[in-house]
């Protein structure tokens, strides 16, 4: 179960990368670690140079964790909107890091804020991707009660992506949290129904169901190692694939 596996399909033309906000904290308790952001940006730049069209969704947990005390007891919708604004800050930080190394980007927000980024317009986003720009989708779906996992799945479907890559702090999907349970075993491949039935918490249930209905595979890997993203796109390294059946 723990041996590295490879993706045997043809190279991906367009992918959506979902990065958890916690990854951007680096070794800090919360906030944005600039060195970590730069490392992720350099990985993304390699993908763009390889010719893959890439769009990006970043969670807001790294910033919202610092506001958790203020949000405690707050009405759910208000707290969710705070989280959406945190994703905009992460998107702008990633945009700056990418632009500084020569990668053309656009940030599109589901919550209109014209002074800092574009509003989300599907056809415009697709056109940016066709021109080789990295499109960073911010503010989730623009609605409370929906996670950035759901936003990533929705945008992957709308952009007609070939796969959704989820970059986390662990190298795949495990039977339990490997940080807490050293006996946890990693899955090489799972079906969408496996994830839902076993409640594996790869992504929230609505996101997994949307990927199932759109037949878009989910690839879970660790983004914490420099070059891991490109290796996984090439079908190398260690990761877990969630798809309709056993082969991808």
Decide if 3 is inside a domain: no
Does the pLDDT value for residue 70 go beyond 80? no
pTM for this entry: 0.90
Task: Look at residue 153 in the predicted model and tell me its pLDDT.
Answer: 98
Would residue 5 count as lying in a domain? no
**What range does the domain containing 165 cover?**
14-243
In a domain, 7, yes or no: no
pLDDT at residue 66, as a whole number: 54
What are the pLDDT digits (tens) for 196-218?
A: 999 998 899 999 999 999 999 99
Tens digits of per-residue pLDDT, 138-179? 999 999 999 999 999 999 999 999 999 999 888 999 998 888
Task: Provide the pLDDT for residue 248.
Answer: 45
Return the CATH number at 211: 3.40.1160.10
Burial class (CB in 10 A: 0-12, 13-18, 19+), 122: exposed
User: What would the mean pLDDT of 64-93 be, rounded to a whole number?
Assistant: 81
Residue 93 included in any domain: yes
**Please, are residues 62 and 162 in contact by the beta-carbon 8 Å criterion?**
no
CA distances from 41 to 99, 138, 244 (A): 9, 16, 31
- Cα–Cα distance measured from residue 239 to residue 124, given in angstroms and rounded to the nearest whole number: 32
Query: What are the pLDDT digits (tens) for 27-61?
Result: 887 889 999 999 999 999 999 998 999 999 999 98
Span 97-125, pLDDT tens digits: 999 999 999 999 999 999 999 999 999 99
132-147 pLDDT tens trace: 999 999 999 999 999 9
Tally the domains of the chain: 1
Sign of CA pseudo-dihedral 87, 49, 115, 123: negative
Four-point Cα dihedral 225, 229, 230, 233, nearest 10? 140
- Residue 26 within any structural domain of the chain: yes
């Amino acid at each position: 179960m723990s041996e590295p596996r490879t993706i045997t399909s043809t190279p991906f033309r367009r992918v959506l990368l979902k990065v958890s906000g916690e990854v951007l904290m680096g070794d800090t308790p919360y906030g944005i670690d600039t060195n970590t952001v730069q490392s992720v940006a350099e990985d993304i730049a390699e993908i763009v140079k390889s010719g893959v069209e890439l769009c990006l969704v970043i969670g807001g947990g790294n910033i919202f964790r610092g506001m958790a005390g203020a949000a405690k007891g707050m009405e759910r919708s208000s707290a969710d909107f705070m989280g959406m604004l945190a994703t905009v800050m992460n998107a702008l930080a990633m945009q700056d890091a990418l632009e500084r190394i020569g990668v053309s980007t656009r940030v599109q927000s589901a919550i209109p804020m014209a002074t800092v980024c574009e509003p989300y317009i599907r056809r415009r986003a697709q056109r940016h991707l066709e021109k080789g720009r990295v499109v960073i989708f911010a503010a989730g779906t623009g609605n409370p009660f929906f996670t950035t996992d759901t936003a990533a799945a929705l945008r992957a479907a709308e952009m007609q992506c070939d796969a959704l890559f989820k970059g986390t702090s662990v190298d795949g999907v495990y039977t339990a949290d490997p940080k807490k349970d050293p006996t946890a075993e990693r899955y090489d491949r799972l079906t969408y129904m496996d994830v839902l039935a076993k409640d594996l918490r790869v992504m929230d249930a609505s996101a997994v169901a949307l990927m199932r209905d759109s037949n878009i595979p989910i690839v879970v890997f660790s983004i914490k190692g420099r070059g891991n993203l490109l290796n996984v796109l090439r079908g190398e390294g260690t990761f877990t694939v969630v798809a309709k059946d056993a082969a991808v």
